[in-house]
């Protein structure tokens, strides 16, 4: 598979400006991946390096987004033992390549990351969020790469973007978080909580705290009632400038 990941025609065709060619290549890739019950870590990393540069070569914004959505649909077609290793290879690749992304190309990778945050939640939500082992492993992957609290090699820009989209994408997948799913939600929040407490930089810790302070998340976690203002928001209101006093 290592050679296939770099030289197979569908890798080159995924970057085509022709939609039919791109769709055919994606179908070939999907069939190729879905037929396998196990793929080595090395092969997945080589595959994702190829996919990363397929998106790199895609110029038009509409086609960039279409390709990102197509790539984010891949986990749904994989056999269960392959999904989490596939997601880990994605995050490892993004973390490794982040500093090489030029400013003009950054938006398309930010969009791809958002799509993969969503795709990860969608995978975990299958069967009513009932896969405890999957939740734990997913949390370990997030803590290892995009939400890593200590490793200085993980780009802060990646941390900030994942934190920025985290609640939005969780809400898109499941906006109903009653008491019966509280344990699942706490497991999902674990890496963010760890980053808020153990992040090496104050600005990173504050960003994680801001995510945890999102009113939607606080309501889901039972920390406040819907419509109630959180402490941080109340403090902001208190600090608003009220004009010049006489």
pLDDT more than 70, % of the chain: 87
Q: Which domain holds residue 141?
A: 2-226
**Is 235 part of any domain?**
no
**Taking 70 as the threshold, does the pLDDT of residue 169 lie above it?**
yes
For 178-211, how does the pLDDT look when each residue is reduced to its tens digit (9 = 90+)? 999 999 999 999 999 999 999 999 999 999 999 9
pLDDT at 9: 65
Burial class (CB in 10 A: 0-12, 13-18, 19+), 62: exposed
65 lies in some domain: yes
**Distance between CA atoms of residues 41 and 33, nearest Å:** 14
Asked, for residue 119, whether it belongs to a domain, the answer is yes
pLDDT at 19: 77
Per-residue confidence band for 14, with pLDDT thresholds at 50, 70 and 90: confident
In a domain, 173, yes or no: yes
> What's the pLDDT band for 245 if we cut at 50, 70, 90?
very low
The per-residue pLDDT for 5 is 44
Domain contains 237? no
Q: Note whether residue 233 is domain-resident.
A: no
Cα 139 from Cα 161, distance rounded (Å): 17
What are the tens digits of pLDDT across the range 85-115?
999 999 999 999 999 999 999 999 999 999 9
What percent of the chain stands above pLDDT 90?
73
CA atoms within 13 A on the CB side of 68: 22
Q: Which two tokens stand for residue 86?
A: 């596939």
Question: Could you give the CA distance from residue 166 to residue 117 in angstroms, rounded to a whole number?
Answer: 7
240 part of a folded domain: no
Could you give the number of structural domains in the chain? 1
Please say whether the dihedral angle defined by the alpha carbons of residues 144, 150, 151 and 153, taken in this order, is positive or negative: positive
Q: How far apart are CA 26 and CA 224, in angstroms?
A: 44
């Amino acid at each position: 598979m290592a050679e296939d990941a770099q030289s197979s025609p569908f890798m080159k065709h995924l970057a085509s400006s022709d939609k039919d060619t791109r769709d055919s290549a994606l179908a070939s890739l999907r069939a190729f991946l879905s037929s396998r019950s196990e793929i080595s870590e090395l092969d997945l990393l080589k595959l994702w390096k190829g996919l990363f540069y397929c998106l790199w070569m895609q110029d038009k914004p509409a086609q960039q987004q279409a390709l990102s959505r197509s790539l984010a649909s891949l986990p749904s077609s994989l056999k269960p033992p392959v999904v989490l290793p596939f997601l880990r290879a994605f995050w490892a690749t993004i973390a490794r390549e982040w500093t090489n992304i030029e400013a003009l190309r950054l938006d398309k990778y930010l969009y791809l990351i958002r799509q993969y945050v969503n795709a990860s939640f969608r995978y975990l939500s299958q069967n009513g969020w009932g896969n405890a082992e999957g939740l734990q492993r997913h949390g370990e992957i997030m803590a290892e790469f995009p939400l890593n609290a200590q490793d200085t090699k993980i780009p802060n820009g990646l941390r900030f973007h994942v934190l920025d989209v985290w609640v939005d994408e969780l809400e898109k997948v499941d906006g109903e978080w009653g008491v019966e799913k509280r344990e699942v939600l706490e497991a999902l929040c674990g890496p963010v909580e760890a980053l808020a407490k153990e992040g090496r930089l104050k600005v990173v810790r504050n960003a994680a705290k801001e995510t945890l302070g999102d009113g939607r998340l606080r309501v889901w976690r039972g920390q406040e009632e819907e419509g109630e203002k959180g402490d941080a928001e109340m403090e902001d209101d208190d600090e608003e400038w009220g004009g010049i006093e006489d």
